[in-house]
């Protein structure tokens, strides 16, 4: 079965999933309203957006220098930097670091790049037990699902589903405990997670930013699990994409003002942590070993192409939260690690257009994503580029593209197009006969399967316009 | 070719000449940093009190714990200068050096505080245990008035004056929280459920 069918089937299933539809109603008050309110508190949103865009764009233009500077600084701080061309290389590096330390139990902070490289399944195959410690990630790990949202991974679930997973997994706890409220679920996760933290041999986190000037990895969180993941075990491994590096902490400060407001509508999150190497000799606590794994996995190729600006992304999720398509189908229907407009612009670069060509087409090009992006990524323009790429590769199918080519012939010649439209309208009027609408037509069964066409008017809009203006 | 060389080569192919962006000019800071800090911190569900001098902290902490009927004990890391406060002035309060857990209370000094966002700043050090900001159920943080700075930018300037970055710098704003279940905020996900800030001096 082709991917197009899979996507459209998944989207259709999502539309009739009443629990998911219930969860999706939280997008508006949970994300859109909070973001708007938080941005309203800033004096100069457009000035900050332009500053943020230029910081990210300039960093991408000098990525080689920044990565080398970052590497040298991490080493000077006593840490190690590893480079991974692709997902397999990244997994091997991480497994090697862990097995050299004899690590069996691993705690993890939230990281989309480790989702991207499918790290957990790989670790399990090597006898290492990873535990996601971010509440949302923990829930979807128990459910063996992918995150449905890059900021709120378990956003699609109802608390009763979480309760069921906790009861199944935490079998050592009293079966009669009350667990039908959110506070009870959060408290249980907190106490279960403490035992995992205590037993952990190594912690793995992602990074929101890397700072070249200081050799610092930064995480932006609300729960505090990322910090316990770094601080309690003997080793801390940061896994992140090569595009995350910026020159200085001053740059991060500008980006941070937009990141948290755009993501969750907070002026700043509960925790922002600057992690520069292992614990110093006399420090009271902290990890003894510090590793950063820099993952390319398609990013350097994107850097040298028309989709380059997607690498400016700071993963706030605002484009998902404001997308009318994401808003009705949720994240899983996309069938890729990164859903929504960000995913539609990024996934073809990571997974190849052959697997992902339907994602850039899952957009009405309304442009809301462009207008809410804090770093001004032209998301619709990049999606349009991927549509062209798909077409150039004969995707989704020869017949589809044959039709599209013919439509293109007419669309580019306005007079011919108007003539054809006139003929078509006439034919459709005849076919409709006396009834006001058309419910079938030869060769267009698919289109008519879910909709009717009103009988076309006698005169087209354009001809009426010409006469009466 | 190593992965490092291959990635750097590929990245160099995407190099562009692009002038450095001008440093974004934040508007001049106006207003009182202390009152703004307190206001912002309270907006994130932190509790904020002012005390006349730092030595008043033990009695204040005792009275806050007593008022909410919490256990009258606090955890303080072994090498922390918090140990030097006159704890004998709060005789009902037990001081412990064991690592806090669960719903224990802990006390620490912040290195700086940021008025713009109501944020506390902690540098890792021999005298300062970073993990203790995430382990207790209730954290009391002492901050001296003159260490409350307008913005994160001022903290960055102070970091630049140090002899190298601390291994860990924690910016803490309000209690730990999560909205991972049904987009509804719950406090105390992993870190403290309660954050109580005492401004001294």
A134 interaction partners in chain B (CB closer than 8 Å): 180
Taking a C-beta distance cutoff of 8 angstroms, is the pair A218, A75 a contact?
A: no
Considering only CB atoms, which chain A residues are within 8 Å of B153? 250, 253
Chain B residues lying within 8 Å of A296, measured CB to CB:
3, 7, 10
**Structure-token pair, residue A140:** 């979807």
Residue A461 burial class via C-beta count within 10 angstroms: exposed 0-12, middle 13-18, buried 19 and up = exposed
- Pairwise pLDDT comparison (A186 vs A398), residue with the higher score: A186
Q: How far is B119 from chain A (nearest CA, A)?
A: 8
Domain that holds residue B35: 31-178+187-200
Task: Over range A49-55, report the average pLDDT.
Answer: 98
| B contacts of A182 (beta carbons < 8 Å) | 181-182, 184, 186
In a domain, B11, yes or no: no
Reference A400, options A409, A411, A410, A390; nearest CA is: A390
Contact B197, B46 (CB under 8 A): yes
d(CA A342, CA A335): 14
pLDDT over 90 at A372, yes or no? yes
> For chain B, what percent of residues have pLDDT higher than 70?
100
Residue A216: CB partners within 8 Å, gap ≥ 6?
A73, A210, A249, A274, A275, A276, B165
Q: Kindly give the pairing relationship between strand A453-454 and strand A437-438.
A: antiparallel
Cβ B168–A273 below 8 Å, yes or no?
A: yes
Tell me if residue A354 falls in helix, strand or coil: helix
- Residues A235-255 have a mean pLDDT of 98
A221 SS3 class = strand
Interface of A with B in 190-229 (CB under 8 A): 190-191, 193-194, 214-216, 222-225, 227-228
Give the tens place of pLDDT for each residue, A104-161.
Answer: 999 999 999 999 999 999 999 999 999 999 999 999 999 999 999 999 999 999 999 9
* Nearest CB neighbour to A270, from listed B4, B168, B174: B174
Q: Hey, are the CB atoms on B4 and A256 less than 8 Å from each other?
A: no
Put simply, the answer to whether B134 touches A227 (Cβ < 8 Å) is yes
Q: Which residue of A has its CA nearest to B2?
A: A83
Counted across chains A and B, CB pairs separated by less than 8 A come out at: 247
Contact B130 A158 (CB under 8 A): no
CA of A310, closest CA in chain B: separation in Å?
A: 14
Which of these, A232, A244, A256, A165, lies nearest to A206 by C-alpha position?
A244
Q: pLDDT averaged over chain A?
A: 95
Residue A103 confidence (pLDDT) above 50: yes
Residue A224 and residue B176: Cβ atoms within 8 Å? yes
Residue of B nearest to A279 (CA): B167
Q: Look up the CATH number of the domain holding residue B163.
A: 3.40.50.10420
CB B125 within 8 A of CB B116: no
The reported pLDDT for the residue numbered A29 is 84
Task: Check pLDDT > 60 for residue A5.
Answer: no
Which superfamily does A42-299 belong to? NagB/RpiA/CoA transferase-like (3.40.50.10420)
pLDDT single digits (tens) A7-31: 889 999 999 999 999 999 988 888 9
Cβ distance B189 to A189 less than 8 Å, yes or no, reads yes
Do A324 and A2 contact (CB within 8 A), yes or no?
Answer: no
Q: How far is B70 from chain A (nearest CA, A)?
A: 18
Residue B85 near residue B58, CB atoms below 8 Å:
yes
pLDDT at residue A2 tops 60 = no
Average pLDDT score over residue span B56-69 = 97
The whole model's pTM is what?
0.94
Closest Cβ–Cβ partner in B4, B11, B167 for A279: B167
Q: Looking at the complex, does the CB of residue A142 fall below 8 Å from at least one CB of chain B?
A: no
54-93 of A, contacting B, C-beta below 8 A: 54-55, 57-58, 60-64, 67-68, 77, 83-85, 89
Is 50 exceeded by the pLDDT of residue B32?
Answer: yes
Task: Give B133's contacts in chain A (Cβ within 8 Å).
Answer: 224, 227
Q: What ipTM did this prediction achieve?
A: 0.98
Count of domains forming chain B: 1
Q: Indicate the length of chain A as a whole number.
A: 469
Q: What is the predicted pLDDT for the residue at A373?
A: 98
CB neighbour burial string for A428-441, b if at least 16 within 10 angstroms, e if fewer? eeeebeeeeebeee
Of A459-463, B55-59, B76-80, which gets the smallest average pLDDT? Answer: A459-463
Minimum mean pLDDT among A137-146, A289-298, A414-423: which range? A414-423
Q: What is the DSSP secondary-structure string of A316-344? A: --HHHHT-TTHHHHTTGGG-SSS-HHHHH
For the cut 80, the answer to whether the pLDDT of residue A3 exceeds it is: no
Cβ of B165 and A89 within 8 Å?
no
pLDDT in tens, B114-147: 999 999 999 999 999 999 999 999 999 999 999 9
**Closest CB from A158, A183, A269 relative to B186:** A183
Smallest CA–CA distance from A188 into chain B, residue: B189
Cis peptide before A396 (omega within 30 of 0): yes
Q: Which of B44, B35, B38 is nearest to B194 (CA)?
A: B44
A-chain CB neighbours of B134 within 8 Å are 224, 227-228, 231, 271
Rounded distance between C-alpha atoms, residue A107 and residue A148, angstroms? 21
Please tell me which of the candidates B129, B169, B172 has its beta carbon nearest to residue A284. Answer: B129
Does B159 sit within 8 Å of A249, measured CB to CB?
yes
What is the residue extent of each domain of chain A?
42-299, 413-468
How many residues are there in chain B?
Answer: 201
């Amino acid at each position: 079965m082709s991917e197009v069918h899979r996507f459209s089937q998944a989207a259709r299933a999502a539309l009739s999933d009443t629990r998911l539809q219930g969860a999706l109603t939280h997008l508006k008050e949970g994300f859109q309203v909070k973001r708007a309110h938080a941005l309203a508190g800033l004096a100069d949103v457009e000035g900050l957006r332009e500053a943020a865009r230029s910081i990210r764009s300039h960093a991408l233009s000098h990525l080689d220098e920044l990565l080398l500077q970052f590497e040298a600084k991490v080493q000077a701080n006593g840490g190690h930097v590893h480079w991974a061309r692709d997902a397999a290389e990244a997994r091997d590096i991480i497994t090697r670091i862990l097995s050299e330390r004899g690590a069996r139990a691993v705690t993890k902070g939230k990281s989309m790049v480790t989702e991207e490289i499918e790290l957990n399944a790989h670790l399990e195959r090597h006898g290492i037990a990873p535990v996601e410690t971010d509440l949302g990630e923990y829930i979807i790990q128990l459910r063996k699902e992918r995150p449905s949202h890059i900021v709120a991974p378990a956003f699609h679930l109802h608390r009763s589903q979480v309760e069921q997973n906790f009861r199944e997994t935490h079998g050592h706890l009293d079966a009669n405990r009350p667990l039908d409220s959110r506070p009870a679920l959060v408290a249980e996760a907190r106490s279960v997670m403490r035992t995992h933290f205590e037993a952990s041999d190594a912690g793995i986190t992602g990074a929101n930013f890397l700072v070249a000037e200081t050799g610092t990895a930064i995480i932006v969180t609300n729960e505090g699990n990322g910090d316990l993941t770094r601080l309690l075990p003997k080793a801390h491994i940061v896994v992140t994409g090569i595009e995350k590096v910026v020159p200085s902490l001053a740059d991060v400060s500008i980006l941070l003002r937009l990141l948290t407001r755009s993501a969750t509508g907070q002026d700043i999150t509960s925790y922002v942590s600057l992690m520069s190497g292992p614990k110093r000799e006399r420090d009271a606590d902290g990890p003894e070993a510090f590793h950063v794994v820099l993952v390319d996995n398609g990013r350097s190729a994107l850097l040298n192409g028309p989709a380059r600006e997607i690498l400016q992304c700071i993963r706030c999720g605002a484009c998902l939260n404001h997308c009318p398509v994401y808003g009705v189908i949720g994240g899983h229907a996309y069938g890729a690690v990164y859903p929504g407009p960000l995913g539609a612009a990024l996934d073809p670069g990571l997974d190849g257009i052959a697997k992902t060509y339907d994602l850039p087409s899952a957009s009405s090009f309304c442009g809301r994503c462009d207008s809410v992006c804090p770093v001004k990524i032209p998301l619709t323009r990049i999606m349009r580029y991927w549509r062209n790429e798909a077409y150039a590769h004969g995707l989704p199918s020869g017949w589809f593209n044959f039709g599209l080519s013919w439509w293109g012939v007419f669309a580019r010649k306005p007079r011919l197009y108007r003539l054809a439209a006139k003929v078509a309208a006439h034919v459709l009027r005849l076919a409709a006969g006396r009834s006001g609408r058309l419910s079938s037509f030869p060769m267009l069964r698919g289109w008519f399967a879910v909709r009717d066409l009103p009988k076309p008017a006698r005169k087209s809009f354009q001809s009426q316009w010409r006469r009466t203006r | 070719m190593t992965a490092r060389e291959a990635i750097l080569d590929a990245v160099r192919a995407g190099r562009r000449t692009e002038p450095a962006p001008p440093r974004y000019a934040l508007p001049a800071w106006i207003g009182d940093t202390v009152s703004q800090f307190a206001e912002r911190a309270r907006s994130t569900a932190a509790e904020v009190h002012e005390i006349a001098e730092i030595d008043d902290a033990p009695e204040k902490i005792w009275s806050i714990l007593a008022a909410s009927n919490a256990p009258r004990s606090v955890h303080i890391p072994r090498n922390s200068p918090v140990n030097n406060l006159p704890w004998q002035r709060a005789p009902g309060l037990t001081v412990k050096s064991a690592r806090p857990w669960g719903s224990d209370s802990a006390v620490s000094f912040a290195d700086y505080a940021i008025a713009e966002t109501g944020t506390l700043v902690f540098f890792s050090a021999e005298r300062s245990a970073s993990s203790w900001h995430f382990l207790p159920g209730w954290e009391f943080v002492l901050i001296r008035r003159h260490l409350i700075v307008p913005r994160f930018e001022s903290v960055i300037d102070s970091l630049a004056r140090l002899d190298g970055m601390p291994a860990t710098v924690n910016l803490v704003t309000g209690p730990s929280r999560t909205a991972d279940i049904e987009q509804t905020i719950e406090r105390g996900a992993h870190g403290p459920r309660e954050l109580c800030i005492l401004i001294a001096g």
